[in-house]
């Protein structure tokens, strides 16, 4: 996260490869389900033996004695509808919810976040020297109206994308944050409205940042968890 500060996001998980290295983020939407982005995974039927999610700690690489850290193997990956760029990861066992680990809400189907809502991104990714890269960082971004964003991107905006406005200070997600949450406070609850996807440049100051619009895929998410 570039231009952010250390913070607490108890639904943000660190996804780690067989060598235990963090490579992407995710969001805990059910005790045994994490949402992330397709870009982070080699295929829709990848063998994820040895891959894990890490929750309950603010540290990217916590020491062995971190009190609330939970590390849970990933059992399965399920790819979302074609253009969604979403994946759901089924954990080998349910996460234990506590003050450090919480579920984030899913939005109502096709819900539109009102423009100007200040939402939050979180991750253990590259900070480009703007914050301590060894802990979880968060940053606030205002949602941009669909039409305005579409105009700024000269009509290239997709229905499945959600925009936040560029900030002069250069605030945004970066390498290692992909798959993490864009969470917005709605009715006093934090709701997963967007998923961080790779862009060609981090924290642009001249263009809106794009996220996967989760409310378009809530029916698929519920269906996967039900099935």
Partner 1 sequence: HRSPLNDFQRLRATQLLAVPADPPPPPPERGSAEQCARRCAAGLACRAFHHDRQSQQCQLLPWTQHSPHVQLQKNIHYDLYQKKDYLRDCIVADGSGYRGTRATTEKGLSCQHWQATTPHDHRFLPSPRNGLEENYCRNPDRDKRGPWCYTVDPDVRHQSCGIKKCEDAVCMTCNGEDYRGTVDRTESGTECQRWDLQHPHKHPYHPNKYPDKGLDDNYCRNPDSSERPWCYTTDPGREREYCRIRRCTEKRPRPLNITTGCFRGKGEGYRGRVNVTVSGIPCQRWDAQTPHRHHFVPEKYPCKDLQENYCRNPDGSEAPWCFTARPTLRVAFCFHIRRCPDELGAQECYHGHGERYRGHVGKTRKGITCQPWAAQAPHVPQISPVTHPEAHLEENYCRNPDNDSHGPWCYTMDPRTPFDYCAIKPCSGSVVPSILENTDAVEFEQCGRRDERLQRKGR
Quick one: 76 or 165, whose CB is closer to partner 1?
Answer: 76
Q: Which residues contact 37 (CB under 8 A, 6 or more apart)?
A: 24, 85, 86, 87, 178, 179, 195, 196, 197, 198, 212
Q: What are phi and psi of 12, to 5 degrees?
A: -85, 130
Query: How near is the Cβ of 125 to partner 1 at its closest, in Å?
Result: 9
DSSP E strands in the chain: the ranges are 5-6, 12-16, 22-30, 33-37, 52-55, 70-79, 86-91, 118-123, 137-144, 161-164, 181-186, 189-196, 209-213
Quick one: 19 or 154, whose CB is closer to partner 1?
Answer: 19
Query: How near is the Cβ of 225 to partner 1 at its closest, in Å?
Result: 11
Query: How near is the Cβ of 134 to partner 1 at its closest, in Å?
Result: 11
- 65's tokens: 């004695």
C-alpha 132/C-alpha 61 separation (Å) is 13
Quick one: 84 or 164, whose CB is closer to partner 1?
Answer: 84
Query: How near is the Cβ of 21 to partner 1 at its closest, in Å?
Result: 9
Quick one: 111 or 152, whose CB is closer to partner 1?
Answer: 111
C-alpha 97/C-alpha 5 separation (Å) is 24
- 158's tokens: 């997709």
What is the rounded radius of gyration, in angstroms, for the C-alpha atoms of the chain? 16
Query: How near is the Cβ of 146 to partner 1 at its closest, in Å?
Result: 7
């Amino acid at each position: 996260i570039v231009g952010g500060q250390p913070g607490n996001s108890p639904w943000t998980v660190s996804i780690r490869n067989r060598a235990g290295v963090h490579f992407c983020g995710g969001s805990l939407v059910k005790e045994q389900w994490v949402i992330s982005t397709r870009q982070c995974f080699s295929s829709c039927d990848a063998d994820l033996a040895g891959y894990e999610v890490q929750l309950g700690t603010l540290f990217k690489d916590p020491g062995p004695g971190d009190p609330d850290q939970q590390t849970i193997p990933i059992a399965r990956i399920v790819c979302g509808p074609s253009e969604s760029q979403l994946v759901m990861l089924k954990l080998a066992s349910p996460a234990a919810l506590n003050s450090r680990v919480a579920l984030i809400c899913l939005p109502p189907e096709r819900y539109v976040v009102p423009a100007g809502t200040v939402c939050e991104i979180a991750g253990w990714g590259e900070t480009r020297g703007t914050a301590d890269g060894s802990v979880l960082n968060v940053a606030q971004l205002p949602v941009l109206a669909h039409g305005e964003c579409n105009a700024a991107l000269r009509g290239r905006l997709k229905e499945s994308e959600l925009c936040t406005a560029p900030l002069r200070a250069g605030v945004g997600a970066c390498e290692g944050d992909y798959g993490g949450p864009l969470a917005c406070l709605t009715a006093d609850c934090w709701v997963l409205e967007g998923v961080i996807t790779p862009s060609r440049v981090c924290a642009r100051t001249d263009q809106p940042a794009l996220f996967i619009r989760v409310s378009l895929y809530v029916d698929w998410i519920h269906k996967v968890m039900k099935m």
